[in-house]
């Protein structure tokens, strides 16, 4: 699994949907997780949340998060 933390500012919006990818060469990216409609960060300013993965994955050296929906407000 992995952990994300949000900021603690009320009016700046918070991430709601994203895809997490992993890579070992920064060229080929494999989808690790896809999250949608996550309102946790909007409800917990400065919050830290652990996201368990549905299945085991290989080890990756690099990660990227691609935002898939507009921030909450």
Name the nearest CA neighbour of 29 among 20, 42, 40.
20
User: Which tokens sit at 73?
Assistant: 């407000």
Mind listing the pLDDT tens digit for each residue in 6-62? 888 777 788 889 999 999 999 999 999 999 988 877 777 778 899 999 888 899 999
Q: What is the pLDDT of residue 71?
A: 81
- Neighbouring CB atoms inside 10 A of 29's CB total 18
How far apart CA 23 and CA 54 sit, in angstroms, is: 19
The answer, as to whether pTM is greater than 0.75, is: yes
DSSP conformational letter for 12 = G
Q: What is the pLDDT of residue 21?
A: 97
Where is pLDDT greater, at 40 or 63?
Answer: 63
């Amino acid at each position: 699994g992995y952990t994300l933390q949000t900021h603690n500012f009320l009016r700046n919006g918070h991430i709601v949907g994203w895809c997490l990818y992993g890579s070992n060469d920064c060229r080929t990216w494999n989808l690790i997780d896809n999250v949608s409609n996550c309102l946790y960060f909007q409800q917990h300013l400065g919050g830290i949340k652990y996201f368990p993965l549905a299945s085991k994955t290989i080890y990756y050296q690099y990660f990227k998060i691609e935002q898939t929906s507009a921030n909450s407000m």
